[in-house]
Structure 1
Amino acid sequence: MLEIKNLDVYYGVIHALKDISIQVNEGEIVTLIGANGAGKTTTLRTISGLIKPKNGTILFNGENIKDINAQEIVKKGLSHVPEGRHVFSDMTVLENLELGAYLRRDKKNIKEDMAKVYSRFPILEKRLKQNAGTLSGGEQQMLAIGRALMSRPKLLLMDEPSMGLAPLLVKEIFSIIEDINKQGTTILLVEQNAHMALSIAHRAYVLETGTIVLKGTGKELAQSEEIKKAYLGG
């Protein structure tokens, strides 16, 4: 579904991503792990058209989307849940969800998808008229995921969904991610909690200073001594 080949990204003179290649097959959860500053967020932002790469190709369902703007990329079925949630805090929960479906015109299906979001996140239905800025961190994360799902993505990019959440909520968010995947959405996940990310990922890549240094199944990397030492506290 997604194939990144030989991607180079610069911030001014800083070479942020160095010739990286990543593949995400339909139906998979693929995770990118690595330390802060490794290039994980830059990778997602480049895929979704927020950053323009210097070299390389980004193929989404066989089409090169490298030079397409972010809005067109969403139309093609790729949605991004950004790091730090970025809900529209002065707008209600309902308005945030409606914005997720901004590019859609299929009103009947939008209504169905809204009902699905409510069944997945019952707390959001209770908070519909509340401003998003008044929600707790966990509720805002659920809203950010719900809003992204309202665009009916084929591929969902998720950046640090567990950041700043209590351990119990982290488990809940990861269980939701697995459920979204089982319902047919392919997921590319960036996550600092390497232990949780590898436990649900079909495959994983390790980024270090803009370079992919390891790849394998989630299970293989979770058992790798190198990974245990660097990211799993062992």
Structure 2
Amino acid sequence: MLEIKNIDVYYGVIHALKDISLTVSQGEIVTLIGANGAGKTTTLRTISGLIKPANGRVDFNGERIKGTSAKDIVKKGLSHVPEGRRVFPEMTVFENLELGAYLRKDKKGIKDDLDRVYASFPILQKRSRQNAGTLSGGEQQMLAIGRALMSRPKLLLMDEPSMGLAPLLVKEIFSIIRQINEQGTTILLVEQNANMALSIAHRAYVIETGSIVLEGTGKELAQSEEIKKAYLGG
């Protein structure tokens, strides 16, 4: 479904991504783990068209999307839940969700998807007329995920969904991610909580200083002594 091959990204003279290659197959949860500043967010922003790579290839569903605008990438079925949630604080929960469907014209489909989001996140329906800025961190994360789902994505990019959340909420968010995947959405997940990420991932990549250094199944990496020492507190 997604293939990125030999991607290089520079921030001025800083070589942020170095010859990155990874794949995500339909139906998978694939996670990308690594330390702060390793290049995880840059990888997602490159895939979703927010950063233009110096070279390399980004293919989605067999189509070259490198150089395609972020808006057109969303149209093709790829949505991005950004780090830090990035909800619109002065707009209501309902208006934020509506914005997620701004490229769609199918009113009945939009209504059906809104009902599905409310079924997955009942608190959002309860708070639908509240401004998003009044929500708790966990509720804002649910809203960010719900907004992305309103574009009916085939592939969902998720950047640090557990950041800043209490442990109980982290478990809830990861349970929801698994549920979204079981309902048919493929997921590429960037996450610092390596334990949780590897527990739900079919496959995983480890990125260090802009390079992929390890890959394997979620289970294999969770059992790796090297990974335990570096990321799992083992």
Q: Place the TM-score, normalised by the shorter chain, in its bin.
A: over 0.9
**Could you say what secondary structure the match of 2:83 adopts?**
coil
Structure 1 residue ranges without an equivalent (≥5): none
Distance 1:187 1:121 in 2: 18
| Equivalent position of 1:179 in the other structure | 179
**Could you say what secondary structure the match of 1:102 adopts?**
coil
1:136 aligns with 2:136: yes
| 1:202 alignment partner AA | H
Question: What's the CA shift for 1:191?
Answer: 0.2
Q: Deviations over 1:86-136 (max 9, x none)?
A: 000000000000000000001110000000000000000010110000000
Distance 1:23 1:129 in 2: 40
Runs of 4+ in 1 over 3 A off after TM superposition: none
| Equivalent position of 1:218 in the other structure | 218
Question: What's the CA shift for 1:77?
Answer: 0.1
1:126 aligns with 2:126: yes
| Equivalent position of 2:22 in the other structure | 22
Distance 2:20 2:129 in 1: 44
Q: Deviations over 1:201-230 (max 9, x none)?
A: 000000000000000000000000000000
Q: Deviations over 1:150-185 (max 9, x none)?
A: 000000000000000000000000000000000000
Question: What's the CA shift for 1:20?
Answer: 0.6
1:117 aligns with 2:140: no
Structure 2 residue ranges without an equivalent (≥5): none
User: RMSD over aligned Cα, in angstroms?
Assistant: 0.3
Distance 2:25 2:113 in 1: 24
**Could you say what secondary structure the match of 1:42 adopts?**
helix
**Could you say what secondary structure the match of 2:84 adopts?**
coil
Question: What's the CA shift for 1:11?
Answer: 0.4
1:72 aligns with 2:75: no
Question: What's the CA shift for 1:52?
Answer: 0.2
Q: Deviations over 1:22-46 (max 9, x none)?
A: 0000000000000000000000000
TM-score between the two structures when normalised by the length of structure 1: 1.00
Distance 1:68 1:175 in 2: 33
Distance 2:143 2:73 in 1: 21
Distance 2:45 2:69 in 1: 12
**Could you say what secondary structure the match of 1:189 adopts?**
strand
| Equivalent position of 1:82 in the other structure | 82
Distance 1:200 1:15 in 2: 31
Distance 2:7 2:164 in 1: 30
1:54 aligns with 2:51: no
| Equivalent position of 1:196 in the other structure | 196
**Could you say what secondary structure the match of 2:212 adopts?**
strand
**Could you say what secondary structure the match of 2:145 adopts?**
helix
Distance 2:72 2:13 in 1: 29
Aligned length: 234
| Equivalent position of 1:152 in the other structure | 152
| Equivalent position of 1:4 in the other structure | 4
Distance 1:29 1:87 in 2: 24
| Equivalent position of 1:34 in the other structure | 34
Question: What's the CA shift for 1:142?
Answer: 0.2
| Equivalent position of 2:209 in the other structure | 209
